[in-house]
Amino acid sequence: MNKSDMTDTAILTVKGLSKSFGGVKAVNDLTFSVQKNHIHAIIGPNGAGKSTLFNLITGIISPDDGEVRFFNNNITSLRSDRIAQHGVSRTFQNIRLFPDMTVFETVLIGTYLLTGAKLVPAILLTKSFREKEKTARKSVEEILKFVGLWDVRDEYAAQLSYGNQRRVEIARALATKPQLLLLDEPTAGMNPKETKELMNLFTAVNEEGITILIIAHDMNLVNTLSDQITVINFGEKLVEGTADVIQKHPAVIEAYMGKVEANA
């Protein structure tokens, strides 16, 4: 489906979202929307409130005010697992993998939100559980081949290269079959080759019909991949638009570089 066919369909709507910590406004009356099938970037200086925003969207913390809507569903303050079941998944800025689990096992965990695996059926190996497990394992196989990790499926995830650990985390998020995938600084600390490879993966994921909301400091990534960019600073929206608009906007230049005097 062409992205131009989706411009009027908001998959995520954030309205008047606010969150304070000890009197400091981390997110302040923030409003924006993400269009279905787009790659939408959130950028801003360090401490702008970007990761707090992701935590609010995914239910890790609750807002003081405002709401988050996924399509027509109000998901504000739902538990993270319930939000994932609605079709919203994420990765974290700091990779979170289990050191004693293989790549396959790590990604398989992501399917359990969908299979509804329960302890008793798992212990008894009921027919229903076996069928769900078979389907889940087939899904993991397809995902690992898609992200390029099938050949290392039996290796411990935490012992892979940094770039492949990121792929494992993305694969685990994809195992929940999201419609919206949130990526928090996914290429931080990577070399140019690893970054390029992940950018290609993000494009492939998006071409599968998955909308992406991404936090990134890498402006080459942002400018290359993004259909829309929202710039925030001190928890507030500064400006929103395409890469061409954002690059030239005075408020963005000031937020990143400080105010430039006319006679400087």
Total domain count, the chain: 2
Range of the domain at 228: 1-87+178-264
pLDDT for position 119 = 45
Q: What is the CATH number of the domain that holds 145?
A: 3.40.50.300
Model confidence band, residue 1 (pLDDT cutoffs 50, 70, 90): very low
Residues 23 and 59 in one domain: yes
> Quick one: how far is CA 138 from the chain centroid?
24
Residues 55 and 106 in one domain: no
Domain-terminating residue out of 177, 207, 234 = 177
For the ranges 8-12, 25-29, 112-116, the lowest mean pLDDT is seen at 112-116
Residues 17 and 43 in one domain: yes
pLDDT digits (tens, 9 = 90+) for 212-257: 999 998 989 999 999 999 999 999 999 999 998 888 888 777 776 5
Average pLDDT over residues 157-178: 93
Domain-terminating residue out of 152, 177, 202 = 177
Whether the pLDDT of residue 115 is over 80: the answer is no
Q: CB neighbours (10 Å) of residue 107? A: 30
Distance (Å, rounded) from C-alpha 138 to C-alpha 218?
35
The model's pTM is 0.88
In percent, the amount of the chain with pLDDT more than 90 equals: 66
pLDDT digits (tens, 9 = 90+) for 123-148: 445 666 567 778 889 999 999 999 99
Average pLDDT, the chain: 87
Distance (Å, rounded) from C-alpha 198 to C-alpha 131?
33
DSSP-derived pairing of the beta strands 65-70 and 73-74? antiparallel
